[in-house]
Amino acid sequence: MYATQLASPATKAMISRILTSALFAGAAAGLITALLQLVFVQPVLLHAELYESGALVHFGAEAVSAHPDLPGMFAEPIRDGLSIIFTMLTYTGYALVMVALMSVAQGQGHEINARTGLLWGLAGFVAFHFAPGLSLAPEVPGVAAAEVGARQIWWTATVAAAGIAMWLIAYGGNIVSYVVAALLLMAPHLIGAPEPSTFSGPVPTEIGALFAARAFGVGMAAWALLGTFAGYFWQSEGARAEATA
Amino acid sequence: MTTKTLKAAAAGSSILPAIFAVVLGLGIITVTGHVQASGLHDAAHDVRHATGFPCH
* pLDDT (tens digit per residue) in A108-132: 999 999 999 999 999 999 999 999 9
Q: For residue range A218-244, what is the model confidence (pLDDT) as tens digits?
A: 999 999 999 999 999 999 999 988 888
Instruction: Categorize the per-residue pLDDT at A82 as very low, low, confident or very high, splitting at 50, 70 and 90.
Output: very high
Angle, helix B38-51 to helix A9-40, in steps of 10 degrees: 80
Query: What pLDDT score was predicted for residue A152?
Result: 96
- Cα gap A26→A89, rounded to integer Å: 8
Query: What is each CA distance from A188 to A34, A115, A134, A219, in whole angstroms?
Result: 29, 30, 10, 21
Full DSSP string of B20-43: HHHHHHHHHHHHHHT---HHHHHH
Q: Is B18 helix (H, G, I), strand (E, B) or coil?
A: helix
Ordered DSSP codes for A103-141: HHHHHTT---SHHHHHHHHHHHHIIIIIHHHTTSPPPPT
User: ∠ at Cα A184 (A180, A187), nearest 5°?
Assistant: 125
Look up residue A165 and give its amino acid: A
DSSP 8-state class, residue A59 = T
Is B2 strand, coil or helix?
coil
pLDDT at residue A2, rounded to an integer = 52
pLDDT digits (tens, 9 = 90+) for A36-72: 999 999 999 999 999 988 888 888 777 888 888 888 8
Q: Which residues of A touch B15 (CB under 8 A)?
A: 104, 107
Dihedral of CA atoms A212, A214, A218, A220 in degrees, nearest 10, equals 50
Say yes or no for a CB contact (<8 Å) between A97 and B22. yes
pLDDT at B6: 44
Measured between beta carbons, which residues in chain B are less than 8 angstroms from residue A6?
A: 13, 16
Mutation site, A86, A125, A156, interface B, largest B CB count within 10 A: A86
Stretch among A6-10, A23-27, A35-39, A135-139 having the lowest mean pLDDT: A6-10
* Per-residue model confidence (pLDDT) at position B3: 47
- Residue boundaries of the structural domains of chain A: 12-138+203-244
Mean pLDDT of chain A: 93
pLDDT value at residue A41 = 97
Task: Note the pLDDT of residue B22.
Answer: 97
Q: For residue range B1-56, what is the model confidence (pLDDT) as tens digits? A: 444 444 444 445 568 999 999 999 999 999 999 999 989 999 999 999 999 999 87
pLDDT band at A216; cut points 50, 70, 90: very high
Enumerate residues 6 to 45 of chain B having a beta carbon within 8 A of any beta carbon in chain A.
9-10, 12-22, 24-29, 31-34, 36, 43-45
State residue A123's pLDDT score. 98
Contact B47, A90 (CB under 8 A): yes
Place A4 in a pLDDT band, splitting at 50, 70 and 90. low
Enumerate helices (H) and strands (E) in chain B, giving the number of each: 2, 0
Cβ <8 Å between A19 and B36:
no
**Cβ(A125)–Cβ(A94) under 8 Å?**
no
- Whether the CA torsion A98, A94, B23, A84 is positive or negative: it is positive
**Mean per-residue pLDDT for A172-178?**
97
Query: Mind telling me how many Å the CA of B3 is from chain A's nearest CA?
Result: 15
Is the pLDDT score of A89 beyond 90? yes
